[in-house]
Amino acid sequence: MRDLYNHIDVRRAISPVSDADNTALVSQIIDRQGFESLTFAILAGSIADADATFAVLVEDGDVANLSDAAAVSDDNLLGTELLAGFQFDDDNETRKIGYVGGKRYVRLTITPTGNASAALISALAILGHPARLPVA
54-93 tens-digit pLDDT: 999 999 999 999 999 999 999 999 999 999 999 999 999 9
What is the C-alpha separation between 25 and 118, in angstroms, rounded? Answer: 13
Residue 100 contacts residue 3 (beta carbons within 8 Å): no
User: Which of 110, 112, 84 is closest to 98 using CA atoms?
Assistant: 84
- Is the predicted pLDDT of residue 111 greater than 90, yes or no? yes
Whole-angstrom CA distances from 98 to 18, 77, 84, 108 are 25, 5, 10, 11
Please report, for the chain, the start and end positions of each structural domain, with discontinuous segments joined by +: 5-128
In the prediction, which pLDDT does 49 show? 80
Residue 111 contacts residue 57 (beta carbons within 8 Å): yes
- Is the predicted pLDDT of residue 118 greater than 90, yes or no? no
- Is the predicted pLDDT of residue 1 greater than 80, yes or no? no
In the prediction, which pLDDT does 45 show? 93
Tell me which fold the domain 5-128 belongs to. Jelly Rolls (2.60.120)
Mean pLDDT of the chain: 95
What is the C-alpha separation between 73 and 59, in angstroms, rounded? Answer: 9
In the prediction, which pLDDT does 117 show? 84
Backbone angles phi and psi of 118, in degrees to 5: -65, 130
97-109 tens-digit pLDDT: 999 999 999 999 9
35-53 tens-digit pLDDT: 999 999 999 999 988 899 9
Q: Taking the CB of residue 65, how many other CB atoms lie within 10 A of it?
A: 9
